[in-house]
With several copies, the nearest count.
Chain A
């Protein structure tokens, strides 16, 4: 049987304009990597956004796998801009294989 370990998976929904800020926070937290996936549309307190990507208001989802401790450091670091910049952060426990990488 292979062995799995528990790590945190963090997903941050962010404006494309802010993606560098999020990924550099990940780098600073000492996390090994991150992956950016596209987003199509959404609705929040500011109403719907849909086709505004021509206008530079499109969003992406940044996902990263990290140890509990680094994940909390990242969340701590991003917390102040979460509400001001309309970011959405969720995190949960996942099993990974070869957990020493993260």
Chain B
């Protein structure tokens, strides 16, 4: 664990995130143009999708992959239930806000996953390529659970369900991740070689700049917010710990290798701050973005990047017996 924690803090990727946090706290005017930030997130999703697909085209799809997909989807459906109970009870949120926040914690954060993969590769326990498909599959089920939990309290003109389902299944990140994954599977390693200098060599550098931006945004939001209580802050730390534990147990339980187990753990631990907020704006406009964005983006996200990626890895090591992962 010492090694992991140490590696985390000498990785340029994490250091750029910290630089972003510090710059924002010091009220520097450093900012990444919006178009660039969107472009970088499209690039990261295309790259991670492609790499996953190429990996699966090499290893093939087997029963482990099916199990991992099933486990991920089940977790995304069910984790919001725990979150909802805690948020309504200890967190003192009303039904609508508790449902909205719960949906975020069942879904996943692409950048947390990507950062974890980088760090797990450095440790010698790279997750399997199919975990990208698991991530894409976990993005949306939580939204449905969250809406069901909040629904009875909803007063306004209902979003048409078909419209919402469409939004949920064809949102940009799901389409791009799965599309690039399929392209990677079709072209395989030889087709990927052509585009590898762009999608592989540039990857970590882009991730550095993207995390710089995320640090700036996370810190600015927490400085501007008025909506956050200490109870909600505590939950935003507790949920990734608990969910990370559950995910890691699940991964080890279905027999994943060390890296994939940790990756499933961090997927469960991470909270969405792109796809789910967009869906909530449409479907639960009464819920307060000041609550769900600040919790997922300004507390859980940094906690996962700086601490939890390492914790989950250590736990996965213990459960699976380190060295099982293919280096």
Residues of A within 8 A of B (CB): 15, 17-18, 46-48, 50-58, 80-81, 84-86
Interface pair A18/B226, CB less than 8 Å apart: no
The residue that B278 contacts in the complex, of A47, A56, A84, with Cβ under 8 A, is A56
Interface pair B290/A56, CB less than 8 Å apart: no
- Give the residue name and chain of the B residue nearest to A17 (CB): B281
Interface pair A18/B281, CB less than 8 Å apart: yes
The residue that A53 contacts in the complex, of B38, B214, B286, B297, with Cβ under 8 A, is B38
Interface pair A84/B275, CB less than 8 Å apart: no
Name the A residues within 8 Å of B278 (CB-CB). Answer: 17, 55-57
- Known A55-B274, A56-B274, A85-B285; judge A50-B220 contact (CB<8 A): yes
Interface pair A84/B34, CB less than 8 Å apart: no
Which 4 A-B pairs rank lowest in CB-CB distance, beginning with the nearest? A56-B278, A17-B281, A85-B285, A48-B224
In the bound assembly, the distance between CA atoms of A48 and B226 in angstroms comes to: 10
Name the B residues within 8 Å of A47 (CB-CB). Answer: 224-227, 290
Name the B residues within 8 Å of A52 (CB-CB). Answer: 217, 221, 293
Chain B, interface SS category: helix
Interface positions of B from 187 to 216, Cβ below 8 Å from A: 213-214, 216
In the bound assembly, the distance between CA atoms of A61 and B213 in angstroms comes to: 24
B82 part of interface (Cβ distance < 8 Å): no
B95 part of interface (Cβ distance < 8 Å): no
In the bound assembly, the distance between CA atoms of A4 and B76 in angstroms comes to: 45
Contact code string B39-61 (vs A, CB < 8 Å = 1, else 0): 00100000000000000000000
